[in-house]
Amino acid sequence: MQCLNNLAKQQGAVISTEPRINDRIRVPEVRLIGYDGEQLGVTAIDKALKLSEEIGLDLVEISPDANPPVCKIMDFGKYKYEIAQKAREARQNQTHIVVKEMRLRPNIEPHDYETKRNHIERFLTGGDKVKVTIQFRGREQSRPELGYKLLQRLAKDVVEIAFVEFAPKQEGRSMTMVLGPVKRKSDALAEAKKAKKAAEKAAASQQL
């Protein structure tokens, strides 16, 4: 089988990834599995095809490399739909962690700090990382401890939802720290969906 596949590739042929079904299964006998999962044992291909036709379903080769090949009686259209549905769900469940960035000044005003911290908390609870950058200007460059203390304060304020992934590090006129979310993004998205559904249900019940 592998040799045939390699030859087909060399000749530029298109190889189907779909399993063989019904009269495309060209072997004398198969190991048959019934529609309900019952093991029917080694069966002649003609008999297996007849059994599938009698109940209006398909004979699908699910293990072509076995000896003899394993076939199952099933609704092939429904099977293909379920496979496609699972593939879509797998793609939807894939999560990409984004690194957000927030810039602060070493002498930031209390109100501005609270605003920036709220943004950072929102990013973290959403499952994203946050790169916090302290920007030094003029004489502030001689006071790196101001930036370090501010980053320490921030890390302490968000300790319940984040951890310090990269400790504060000064590079030229800036000092950076990276915060990682305690909660995985997939969990955060699931909770957000659950909260949205709960809110929609509550709104619908109020309209009744």
pLDDT digits (tens, 9 = 90+) for 38-74: 999 999 999 999 999 999 999 999 899 899 999 999 9
Q: Could you say which architecture CATH assigns to the domain 2-76?
A: Roll (3.10)
Which stretches within the chain are classed as H helix? 2-10, 45-54, 76-93, 110-125, 144-157, 185-207
Query: Which option is the CATH number for 99-186: 2.40.50.1020, 3.90.850.10, 1.10.443.10, 3.30.110.10?
Result: 3.30.110.10
Q: Where in the chain is the domain with CATH 3.30.110.10?
A: 99-186
- pTM over the 0.85 mark: no
The predicted-structure confidence for 12-45, as pLDDT tens digits, reads as follows: 444 456 789 999 999 999 999 998 889 999 999 9
Within the chain, which residue ranges are assigned CATH 3.10.20.80?
2-76
